[in-house]
Structure 1
Amino acid sequence: MESSWFTQKLGELSHVDWFILISTIAFIVLYGLYKTRGKQSSEEYIKGGDARWWTVGLSVMATQASAITFLSTPGQAYTDGLEFVQFYFGLPIAVVIICVTFIPIYHKLKVYTAYEFLEKRFDLKTRSLASILFLIQRGLAAGITIYAPAIILSAVLNWELKYLNIAIGILVIIYTVSGGTKAVNVTQKQQMIIIMSGMITAFVLIVTQLPDNVSFDQALTMAGKAEKMKIIDTSFSLDDRYNIWSAIFGATFLMLSYFGTDQSQVQRYLSGKSVKQMRIGLLFNGLLKVPMQFFILMVGVMVFVFYQFNSTPLNFNPAAEKAVLESPYAAQYDSLQQRHDNILAEKQAMQLNYAKYLNKEYVSPPDKLERRLEQFRVVEEENREAARQLIKKADDGIETNDKDFVFIHFILKHLPKGLIGLLLAVILSAAMSSTASELNALSSTSTIDIYKRFSGKEYDDDHYVKVSKWLTLAWGLIAIGFASVVSLFDNLIQLVNIIGSLFYGTILGIFLVAFYLKKVKGQAIFIAAVISEAVVIACYSLDAADNDISILPFLWLNPLGAILTVVLSLIIQKTQPHQTETLPTS
């Protein structure tokens, strides 16, 4: 019976899709449990053993490539084109610096966490400050990596987000608690294979579903005329989040802090068998990440071209449309929907004529066609904005921004049976991979930098393994709790980067002083870091508040925090009495 509870809950998925989705996720969980069965020492559980460079590289890549990457990035490209790829231009620069400076010191000191080094270099309070800043920002980010795939299944199954958050969180907790760092590492290789296979398949299918007279080259031309193919923006504006200057300066500082001081990444390469294996693994990620991100953005661009020939909803968020259609504004929304359908019909006809022109089958001047297409896109966006305003009136608690729903809409509506399940498995695999790394890092930092350091007693190895497992569970529950209350921001991938930017600059500044400024001691760097973090939060708060005060876009908070921490530490140190302190060297 079509109206049965079971049929309603199956939503858009066929039995084949369900089989592929469930079997893929079950395989990952069971594989992680199988490969890490048996007793592990604290070093094996927390550091992960002696991994080869390819395991290190794939694990680093999988940690960063969360579900948000595969859910939000195509939507970002659909709306704004390829410019977002500039955000990753600073990654190769950061990776080289980390390989030269950070890795040898971490390896020589045989640290479990990055923050252990800070106590050896400075003092306990500086180590604790950096650890706490990391725990705050990564704890919040872990909640978002759970929330992202929950949005997907919410749209598919029409289930409550909070129940989906719990289900996804529990799946990750099961094998992360059981196997620790090793379980995270061994499952991430399989997850990356599934992820890239699924995204390549989606890209090929998008291109093959374009009209017969539209080749891939012509699709790129159409995307270019719609300003979706622009990669580099050389204009300088602090109000522009993504230009070459914010990428080279702001994003480099962000990447340097993320890969060099964030325990969720540091823990991935600390599991390397040697300095050489760590370096090659990290360089592997640095070389492949930019092309991978470019490819994912290209998937979004191709989705944009596909929808120039196919219908789209007035708003891609099904919950938003449901809210307004059940409100007193339903009639007005229906009117906007009718206008939307008319605009799309005319735009699609014009786009087909443009395709004919590209095939030399149409003699109309191309500038006229391109100008008319641009006018249709402007009118379409104005109509969408009017719809967003109606949705907000109907329910101001519903998020009107629908970038993150673009790709999932394409998956559900236009992919064949079986491949829908594969793409959903891709996104869930990425979510599990990234969340597992984050919980693992949160647990390690809590165990080594907080519990072990402040417990006042020395326990045996089994005790610390048990504590780490309990703390993994605790952080998993905290992440599930945060996922249950978070809402969409400008879009999810930007929200993750904003949270990181609030803390990464200060943390990076502490490490830069530790590595390069031997004269600066613990008291000076601690005071400098506290002041710097307060300034960064104040700058963002003024930007975020609705008071027309603009200080700095979030990417620029990274160099601000780092540079301010370094400069203040030098100034404060000059006011301190002379101290003698031993600096670990590489």
Structure 2
Amino acid sequence: MNIIDWIVLFGTLILIVGYGVYKTYGPKDMESYLKGNNDMNWWTIGLSIMATQASAITFLSTPGQAYEDGMRFVQFYFGLPIAMIIISAFFLPIYYKLKIYTAYEYLEGRFDLKTRTLAALLFLVQRGLGAGITIYAPAIILSTLLGWNLTWTNIFIGVLVIIYTVSGGTKAVSITQRQQMVVMMGGMVLAGLLVIQLLPVKFTEALHVAGKMERLNIVNFDFDLSDRYNFWSGITGALFLFLSYFGTDQSQVQRYLTGKSLNQSRMGLIMNGFLKVPMQFVILFIGVMVFVFYQFFQPPVFFNSVQTEKLLDSDYREEFHGLEAEFKEKFEEKNAQIFAMVDAIESGNEEEVISLRAQINQQAADQEAIRTQVKELIVKNDPLAETRDTDYVFMRFVMDFLPKGVVGLLFAVIFSAAMSSTASELNALGSTCTIDIYKRSIKKEESSKHYMISSKWFTAIWGGIAIIFATYASLFENLIQAVNLLGSLFYGVILGIFIVGFFLKRIGGTAVFTAALITEAIILLIHWHNGSELFGINIDIGFLWYNPIGCLLVMLIAGLIQLFRGMLSKS
């Protein structure tokens, strides 16, 4: 990056953090710190909810996923509008009626203290780990692209977030997220327009190329439990995930509990429900356009340039050069065939299109085989090297082809997204520790100011824990899948507890507490054996199905335990 990009990057970040501190500095009590005096309007709530979910992983990993796998990931969000309507109708009125600070306060009144504490601890575990991932995921890629030390990149992101989150609390998070969403979506839309402008063919022709190469595969109605992303997993498994995430995860609940009224919070949720799907569609579509771009301009044989530079300095240099030359030859052959296919599409020669498409697919397979050999060389040179490079696709394109200033803006997008999600998570972790653990079970009778200061300390401590976890974490198969997987291991159980509380009035605290522990053990056991056998049964399911399985098992097991306890009491 040049000086203009650095000015844009740091100028944007300093303005956002400075604005957040300036507008919200100095809350005097717990009410203002944790709930922002309940003065947020619906569109600020909606943008804050969207920014909380739209982490840096969204902007780094999603375009790369579309590059590799097409548009089908958008199906993951099909259940989101339904979830927002259900939460607005059933969850929100209860939360507002009880005037709670955290979602888990409800559980003590409905069940007992141990159930409230269990749900809070499950949240703290999964969200604490999640906060580490939301820092680490962009840090490892940004440190690679910018040539920064990974540990210092983790610290830089984490400390920026801690400054304004600890300073201004919930209101600071919401206000800064409003600015961050403008930067994030403005930057991504600009990147999308620029990639389309850089294409050597018309936009309609680019769509034809993407379609023929199976990158516009938006909806798949085939029912397959092992398929992570299809229509059915989107409106069932993902629906349960979103119900739990937006309805019971304090990082989201805290966003809409700051609303001026129940209606303002409802409108914010509905706004998120109906804008999130188009937003994800746009980000995925940008990834598809980057894929089309690289059909006309030669892509790197491996997108993580740090690993290829290591190869060039190793004993495998000559072998790598040979693979690069072979990769270039295959690209040139495929490139000529793609131009020929565009001409055949324009002339309506379907037979020629089918023939060329088969040849192009074969060339693409040959290119992928060469990439596999390069990955094998990378591992030979460094056994600990990460060989999955799809998370580097988008930002490598940005750095190589976009103009000065825009590169800095896109890096600001990634940093802003990392900060927005992490801020919500730390704010929620501090609130939950204060309200559900510290205030309820440790220091029960202290002043409002004392609990505000405690919340600041807990927020800062969780920030430190997240930075430490980020420093010692390692890449998952795909960053965005890592976050959804981590949530799916816990969200189903937490949602099940709340669903029992809302709708199954005869089930008591002991039954649901026991059922939650049993179910969480089952989910972890299923995940551990997913892809193999468990008690002689072949387990092969997409992780999104953990959410409905966990929720339904809590309901079923709790019902059976309550029934059994009732029978014993009568006998």
Compared with structure 1, are the counterparts of its residues 166 and 425 closer, same or farther at alpha carbon in structure 2 (3 Å cutoff)? same
Q: Which amino acid aligns with 2:195?
A: I
Tell me which amino acid in the other structure corresponds to 1:475: W
Which residue of the partner structure matches residue 564 of structure 1?
A: 553
Alignment-derived partner of residue 287 in structure 1:
274
- Cα distance in 1 for partners of 2:533, 2:392 equals 26
Partner of 1:142: 131
Distance of 2:489 and 2:312 partners within structure 1: 38
- Give distance in 2, aligned partners of 1:361 and 1:209: 25
Q: CA deviation at 1:97?
A: 0.8
The answer to whether residue 437 in structure 2 is matched with residue 438 in structure 1 is: no
Q: Tell me whether 337-346 or 524-533 shows the greater mean CA deviation.
A: 337-346
- Aligned partners of 2:314, 2:171: CA distance in 1, in Å? 51
Alpha-carbon distance, 1:179 to partner = 0.4
Q: Give me the whole-angstrom Cα distance separating, in 2, the residues matched to 1:57 and 1:101.
A: 18
Question: Does 2:189 correspond to 1:200?
Answer: yes
Structure 2 equivalent of residue 240 of structure 1 = 227
Partners of 1:53 and 1:363 in 2: CA distance: 51
Whether 2:447 is the aligned partner of 1:471: answer no
The 5-angstrom pairing of residues 27-42 of structure 1 reads 27-42=15-30
Aligned partner of residue 308 in structure 1, secondary structure: helix
Note if 1:554 corresponds to 2:543: yes
Distance change (3 Å), C-alpha of 1:312 and 1:519: same
Is 2:227 the counterpart of 1:217?
no
Q: 2:159 matched to which residue of 1?
A: 170
How far off is 1:333 after superposition?
2.4
Where in structure 1 are there 5+ consecutive unaligned residues?
Answer: 1-12, 581-586
TM-score w.r.t. structure 2 length? Answer: 0.96
Judge which range, 533-542 or 482-491, deviates more.
482-491
Tell me the distance in 2 between the aligned counterparts of 1:165 and 1:18: 18
Partners of 2:315 and 2:130 lie apart in 1 by: 37
Aligned AA (1:279): R
Q: What is the CA-CA distance between 1:379 and the residue it aligns to?
A: 1.0
Q: Tell me by how many angstroms 1:364 deviates.
A: 8.8
Q: CA deviation at 1:288?
A: 0.5
8 A Cα contact 1:77 1:300, kept in partner: yes
Q: Is the CA contact (8 Å cut-off) linking 2:489 and 2:523 kept in structure 1?
A: yes
Matched, 1:181 2:170: yes
Over 3 Å counting, the alpha-carbon distance change for 1:470 and 1:577 in structure 2 is same
> 1:368 offset after TM fit, Å?
2.2
Instruction: Determine if contact 1:78/1:301 at 8 Å carries over to the other structure.
Output: yes
Using a 3 Å threshold, how does the CA distance of structure 1 residues 293 and 63 change in structure 2: closer, same or farther?
same
Q: Is the 8 A contact 1:48 1:185 kept in 2?
A: no
Aligned twin of 2:218: 231
Q: Over residues 348-401 of structure 1, what are the superposed CA-to-partner deviations in whole Å (9 max), with x where a residue is unaligned?
A: 222222333344499992222222211111111121122222222322211101
Contact 2:531 2:540 in 1 (8 A): no
- Closer, same or farther in 2 for the Cα pair 1:364/1:577, shift >3 Å? closer
CA apart distance, 1:541: 0.9
1:88 to 67, 71, 77: 77
Query: CA contact under 8 A between 2:532 and 2:539: conserved in structure 1?
Result: no
Contact between 2:341 and 2:352, CA under 8 Å: does it hold in 1? no
Separation in 2 of the partners of 1:460 and 1:366? 74
Inter-CA distance 228–186: structure 2 relative to 1 (3 Å threshold)? same
Deviation at 1:153, TM superposition (A): 2.4
Equivalent residue number for residue 14 of structure 1: 2
Confirm whether residue 338 of structure 1 aligns to residue 325 of structure 2: yes
SS in 2 for 1:564: helix
Pick the aligned partner of 1:396 from 383, 400, 422. Answer: 383
Q: Secondary structure at the match of 1:159?
A: coil
Give the secondary structure class of the aligned counterpart of 2:71: helix
CA deviations 1:185-242 (Å, max 9, x no partner) are 111111111111111100100000001xx11111111000000001111112222111
Counterpart for residue 122 of structure 2: 133
Structure 2 unaligned blocks of 5 or more? none
Q: 1:519 Cα deviation (Å)?
A: 0.3
The answer on 1:493 being equivalent to 2:480 is yes
Tell me, in whole angstroms, the C-alpha distance in 2 between the residues paired with 1:318 and 1:216.
Answer: 30
Q: For the residues of structure 1 that align with 2:463 and 2:469, how far apart are their CA atoms? A: 10
Native 8 Å contact 1:92 1:286 kept in 2: yes
| Counterparts of residues 566-585 of structure 1 (less than 5 Å) | 566-577=555-566
CA contact (8 A) 2:61 2:390 kept: yes
Alpha-carbon RMSD: 1.9
Which residue of structure 2 lines up, in the alignment, with residue 23 of structure 1?
A: 11
- Closer, same or farther in 2 for the Cα pair 1:425/1:108, shift >3 Å? same
Separation (CA, whole Å) in 2 of partners of 1:115 and 1:16: 47
Partner of 1:47: 35
Is the deviation greater in 138-147 or in 81-90?
138-147
Q: Is the 8 A contact 1:539 1:551 kept in 2?
A: no
Match of 2:523 in 1: 536
1:117 equivalenced with 2:106 (yes/no) = yes
Query: Relative to structure 2, which stretch is displaced further, 158-167 or 51-60?
Result: 158-167
Alignment of 1:337-356 (within 5 A): 337-356=324-343
Q: Which amino acid aligns with 2:186?
A: S
Matches of 1:395 and 1:579, distance apart in 2: 62
Q: Distance in 2 between matches of 1:99 and 1:248?
A: 18
Task: Name the structure 2 match of 1:10.
Answer: none
Percent identity over the alignment is 55
1:311 to 284, 298, 308: 298
1:353, 1:362 within 8 Å by CA — same for their partners in 2? no
Could you tell me how far apart the structure 2 residues matched to 1:316 and 1:265 are? 34
Of stretches 262-271 and 352-361 in structure 1, the one that deviates more from structure 2 is 352-361
Contact in 2 for aligned 1:319/1:398 (Cα 8 Å): no
CA distance in 1, matches of 2:518, 2:348: 66
How many residues get paired?
566
Matches within 5 A, 1:409-448: 409-448=396-435
CA contact (8 A) 1:447 1:468 kept: yes
